[in-house]
Structure 1
Amino acid sequence: MAPSLEEPEPVSDVIENPLKSKPQLVAPEPEHCPGPESEQAGKADNCAGCPNQAICASAPKGPDPDIPLISARLSGIKHKILVLSGKGGVGKSTFTSMLGHAFAMREENNVGIMDTDICGPSIPKMMGVETETIHISSTGWSPVWVSDNLGVMSIQFMLPAKDDAVIWRGPKKNGLIKQFLKDVDWGDMDFLLVDTPPGTSDEHLSVNSFLKESGIDGAVMITTPQEVALLDVRKEIDFCRKAGIKVLGLVENMSGFVCPNCTHESQIFRATTGGGAALAKEMGIPFLGEVPLDPRIGRSCDYGESFFEAFPDSPACTALKGVVRGLAEQIGIDAKLVLPDD
């Protein structure tokens, strides 16, 4: 076993190989500019006389040389699934953690979770490994193992204190995501789940560009029933289509409240425009199901426990298993190879 990083390096020193960033221009890009990262940058006729000509001509061009290294590192992972929404607070990290536990219920499955929410990493807390640190071996960084077949990687493991803020610009965050893919020894895995922050910006573009060559099965969309959430999910679906990411399906989270005592379900976030099912039909994507709001889900995440093991009789647990089986169908595998028989 390699030594633990008992004294983590300052977060600002973590990135050693940052993503190629846009060159710093001395003047605004003029009209008809080919773009500072274009192969014609600094060479096109429109570049003549531009104050940025020398900068653009000397900037690095072409594909990222680390992409083949990432593809080789991830060659042993069978299925790569993104968890997206566009909207914050709809339960992406909660769903990712429960999806990881669900896949890991079958002992033959090896599962990894990559937390790309750099500024708000919550996966380690939900998985019960918040105080762990990263180990380094001759083959790279080792994921933090929640169980024998469930590993996690997050920036939380690198912070000197759990309450420290990460105040980074885009290139720095992109560089860390690259290291999570290139330097982490994921090994042979059946599933790699990628938890993402809200939006359609740096982290999402980086994950897509880094994983595209190695293959992404697709993305699972998470929403809540109200139109305020659906607005942002529509944008995320549009992002996936423009980025060439297959949408595996949409899950409506918090679709109702289930009383832990009487199991009666009440509508808390009542759908005003049809909710997730109507959105899935409108956008032409599969609807994987509705997961009710159960306060015991939050309790399980707070204590880093598996909701499936703690409350197997909950209606939310039954709904989640249905979602997992639907997701298995979308990625083309037998549901029996994902969840053990009840």
Structure 2
Amino acid sequence: MTDFNTFSDAIIAVVGSRASGLKVADDAVSLMLDVSGLSEEQRAEIETEVRAAVEKVGARSVRIMLTAERIVPRLIAVASGKGGVGKSTLSTNLAIAMARTGRSVGLVDADIYGPSQARLMGVEGVKPEADGKIMIPVMGAGGVPFLSMGQLVNPGQAIAWRGPMAGTALSQLVDAKWGAVRDIIVDMPPGTGDIQLSMVQKHKPVGAVIISTPQDLALMDAMRAISFFESAKVPIIGLVENMAGYLCPHCGEMSDPFGSGGAEAAAKELGIPFLGRIPLDINIRIESDAGTPPALGEGPISDAYSAIAQRVATWIDSPKDTVA
């Protein structure tokens, strides 16, 4: 069976961000195609090109659903009370893992002072185009369209912007031409200051995923992030424990340099869902630096991100604020 990434690459090469909701099962492919602004002839031509490209890489059948409806995406904030806990890596892999289930997912790197998604998504140095004054997302790893604060400045340049300027830039990212994207993962800036408040008030997320390490100090900051979103009336989707244990590749012994189970215990105490844990694994660092996030592959790390993505998706789709 040809893998998801092969079909995704074939589609992106033809239509870019107009495609979403890719599903692959037994070499049968289905997807949504945004044809807004196209004539009937252009619609027919682009559909034919997509079918030809996907069949060329081994699809047994291709089902294309055309849509010209303007979709207002739902925002899912990924936040922490401090930096250095793996928020950007989680955001990237969460978006990719959700997209692999066939959801129409985008990614916004709103981490103003430490944008890193371009490297994580494998398109560092690629600048987004614009349709008039509206930005067009860049297609990143796993066929996930994304925009980053880092794309608005030169590589390595410090972003020394005051609140209003940063807020305007963030709005450009969120209000971009997302096409058929239904859910946008937003990698929030660390902390709970004015920029975060402006972002939440103007672009109300449907919920927030809070990430922390098991360490007590990180959990204290995570509690502040939870309090921040609750005061802004943004529901908490759940808590993720990152860097949860380290398996030595040489001796096979498990150790807990940041403690163990702290985030799960905190979630239980606060009465919020515990979404899962991600171990401290060198392959996450290696694959992330290479622009091939582990959620793209197979194995225990990919499975961990997939399980968290499924719980987030269940919460989003549920009429109640619960996760199975």
Report the TM-score when normalising by structure 2. Answer: 0.72
Deviation at 1:125, TM superposition (A): 1.0
Does residue 280 in structure 1 map to residue 267 in structure 2? yes
Instruction: Give, as a single letter, the amino acid of the residue that structure 1 aligns with 2:192.
Output: T
Do 2:98 and 2:306's aligned partners in 1 also have CA atoms closer than 8 Å?
no
Structure 2 vs 1, CA of residues 139 and 175 (structure 1 numbering), >3 Å: closer, same or farther?
closer
Does residue 321 in structure 1 map to residue 306 in structure 2? yes
Structure 1: gaps spanning 5 or more residues: 1-73, 334-342
How do residues 29-40 of structure 1 correspond to structure 2 at under 5 angstroms? none
* Deviation by residue 1:166-225 (Cα, 9 ceiling, x = unmatched): 11111111111122223x11122132000012100123112211223xxx3200000000
Structure 2 vs 1, CA of residues 102 and 262 (structure 1 numbering), >3 Å: closer, same or farther?
farther
How do residues 1-342 of structure 1 correspond to structure 2 at under 5 angstroms? 76-106=71-101, 108-138=102-132, 140-146=134-140, 149-160=143-154, 162-182=155-175, 184-212=176-204, 216-260=205-249, 265-271=254-260, 275-310=262-297, 312-313=298-299, 315-332=300-317
Deviation at 1:279, TM superposition (A): 0.6
User: What CA distance in whole angstroms lies between the structure 2 residues aligned with 1:177 and 1:324?
Assistant: 24
CA RMSD of aligned residues (A): 2.2
User: What CA distance in whole angstroms lies between the structure 2 residues aligned with 1:327 and 1:262?
Assistant: 35
Instruction: Give, as a single letter, the amino acid of the residue that structure 2 aligns with 1:211.
Output: H
Do 1:132 and 1:157's aligned partners in 2 also have CA atoms closer than 8 Å?
yes
Do 2:79 and 2:225's aligned partners in 1 also have CA atoms closer than 8 Å?
yes
User: What CA distance in whole angstroms lies between the structure 2 residues aligned with 1:201 and 1:175?
Assistant: 16
Structure 2 vs 1, CA of residues 298 and 240 (structure 1 numbering), >3 Å: closer, same or farther?
same
User: What CA distance in whole angstroms lies between the structure 2 residues aligned with 1:154 and 1:222?
Assistant: 20
Higher-strand-fraction structure: 2
* Deviation by residue 1:118-142 (Cα, 9 ceiling, x = unmatched): 1111111111111101211247211
Do 2:121 and 2:141's aligned partners in 1 also have CA atoms closer than 8 Å?
no
Deviation at 1:316, TM superposition (A): 2.5
Deviation at 1:264, TM superposition (A): 5.1
Deviation at 1:321, TM superposition (A): 1.9
Partner of 1:22 in structure 2? none
Structure 2 vs 1, CA of residues 323 and 306 (structure 1 numbering), >3 Å: closer, same or farther?
same
Deviation at 1:260, TM superposition (A): 4.8
Do 1:221 and 1:250's aligned partners in 2 also have CA atoms closer than 8 Å?
yes
Computing the radius of gyration from Cα coordinates, the structure with the larger value is: 1
Q: What is the count of residue pairs matched by the alignment? A: 251
More divergent stretch after superposition (199-208 vs 142-151): 142-151
Partner of 2:37 in structure 1? none
Deviation at 1:318, TM superposition (A): 2.3
Instruction: Give, as a single letter, the amino acid of the residue that structure 1 aligns with 2:90.
Output: F
User: What CA distance in whole angstroms lies between the structure 1 residues aligned with 2:286 and 2:232?
Assistant: 36
* Deviation by residue 1:64-97 (Cα, 9 ceiling, x = unmatched): xxxxxxxxxx961453200011121110000001
User: What CA distance in whole angstroms lies between the structure 2 residues aligned with 1:173 and 1:116?
Assistant: 9
Higher-helix-fraction structure: 2
Deviation at 1:282, TM superposition (A): 1.5
Do 1:78 and 1:190's aligned partners in 2 also have CA atoms closer than 8 Å?
yes
Do 1:77 and 1:187's aligned partners in 2 also have CA atoms closer than 8 Å?
no
Identity %: 38
User: What CA distance in whole angstroms lies between the structure 2 residues aligned with 1:140 and 1:210?
Assistant: 18
Runs of 4+ in structure 1 over 6 Å off: none
Deviation at 1:327, TM superposition (A): 1.5
Deviation at 1:261, TM superposition (A): 6.7
Do 2:97 and 2:296's aligned partners in 1 also have CA atoms closer than 8 Å?
no
Do 1:110 and 1:149's aligned partners in 2 also have CA atoms closer than 8 Å?
no
Instruction: Give, as a single letter, the amino acid of the residue that structure 2 aligns with 1:172.
Output: M
